[in-house]
């Protein structure tokens, strides 16, 4: 099973991913956690370029750098882990490019969706937890510091709108979580949805583990 977490910078994604993977470990469910851009040697080098405040990167070049990191990650880590029956948890995936480059940078949604499909060979998460917060809240929560975080509130507003549109287009995959609630309430909601999904889709090997502990 492939699960991604999405949200604007400062949405609390990192904390929720940590709580969720700790939950999987407690249940004895084997998982591999990755973050984008990065999680491979090639990807970490690309990440340094992308977050470097001293670089001025053309929007299309930026898109291709994110996609290059993703292509490497899919082939080097995600597909092999899924083949071994592991749960893969990814901090960001295809939807980040649609929201940040497609809408935020205004490259166009359809172009980014097509290029995403090419870069990933069509692999999509089974579940995407989108942690929704207002950009105003994000700005209060987080000292935004890297190159991607210097885009300002209007950029993040476009990104958020795009995430919400994506979620309305794919309601079976993208689950909107109100990330303005407290940490444990958000975590409980994510676990509840995950357990229901496992039952509904008959992931027997995972279900056994959920019920045994």
Figure out which of the listed residues 92, 158, 160, 187 binds ligand TYD, where binding follows CB under 6 A: 92
Using rule CB under 6 A, residue 9 touches ligand TYD: yes
Q: Is 129 in the site for ligand TYD (CB under 6 A)?
A: no
Measured from the CB atom, the residue of 141 and 209 that comes closer to ligand TYD is 141
User: Does residue 148 touch ligand TYD according to CB under 6 A?
Assistant: yes
Instruction: Provide the b/e sequence for 24-62 (b: ≥16 CB within 10 Å).
Output: beebebebbbbbbbbbbebbeebbebbeeeeeeeeeeeb
Part of the chain binding ligand TYD (CB under 6 A), chosen from 23-31, 92-100, 133-141, 165-173: 92-100
29 binds ligand TYD (CB under 6 A): no
Question: How many chain residues interact with ligand TYD (CB under 6 A)?
Answer: 15
In the three-class reduction of DSSP (H, G, I as helix; E, B as strand; rest coil), residue 107 is classed as: coil
Q: Which is nearer to ligand TYD, 19 or 207 (CB)?
A: 19
Which residues are within 8 A (CB) of 153 and not within 5 positions of it... i.e. 6 or more apart? 135, 136, 139
Which one, 96 or 128, has the nearer CB to ligand TYD? 96
- Whether the CB-CB separation of 104 and 155 falls below 8 Å is answered with yes
Q: Residue 175: is it exposed, middle or buried by C-beta count within 10 angstroms (0-12/13-18/19+)?
A: middle
Check residue 132 for interaction with ligand TYD (CB under 6 A).
no
Helix (H, G, I), strand (E, B) or coil at 5: strand
Which residues would be at the binding site for ligand TYD (CB under 6 A)?
A: 9, 14, 35-37, 66, 91-92, 96-97, 100-101, 146, 148-149
């Amino acid at each position: 099973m492939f699960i991604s977490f999405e949200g604007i910078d400062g949405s609390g994604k990192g904390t929720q991913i940590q709580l969720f993977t700790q939950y999987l470990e407690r249940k004895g469910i084997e998982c591999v956690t990755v973050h984008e851009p990065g999680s491979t040697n090639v990807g970490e080098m690309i990440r340094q370029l992308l977050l470097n405040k001293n670089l001025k990167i053309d929007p299309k070049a930026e898109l291709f750098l994110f996609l290059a990191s993703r292509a490497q990650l899919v082939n080097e880590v995600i597909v092999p882990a899924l083949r071994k029956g592991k749960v893969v948890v990814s901090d960001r995936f295809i939807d980040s490019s649609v929201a940040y480059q497609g809408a935020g940078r205004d490259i166009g949604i359809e172009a980014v969706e097509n290029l995403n499909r090419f870069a990933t060979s069509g692999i999509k998460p089974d579940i995407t937890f989108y942690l929704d917060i207002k950009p105003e809240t994000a700005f209060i929560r987080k000292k935004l510091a890297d190159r991607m975080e210097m885009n300002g509130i209007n950029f993040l507003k476009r990104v958020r709108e795009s995430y919400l549109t994506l979620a309305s287009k794919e309601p079976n995959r993208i689950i909107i979580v109100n990330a303005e609630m407290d940490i444990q309430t958000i975590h409980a909601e994510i676990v509840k949805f995950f357990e229901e999904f496992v039952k509904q889709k008959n992931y027997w090997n995972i279900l056994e583990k959920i019920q045994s502990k």
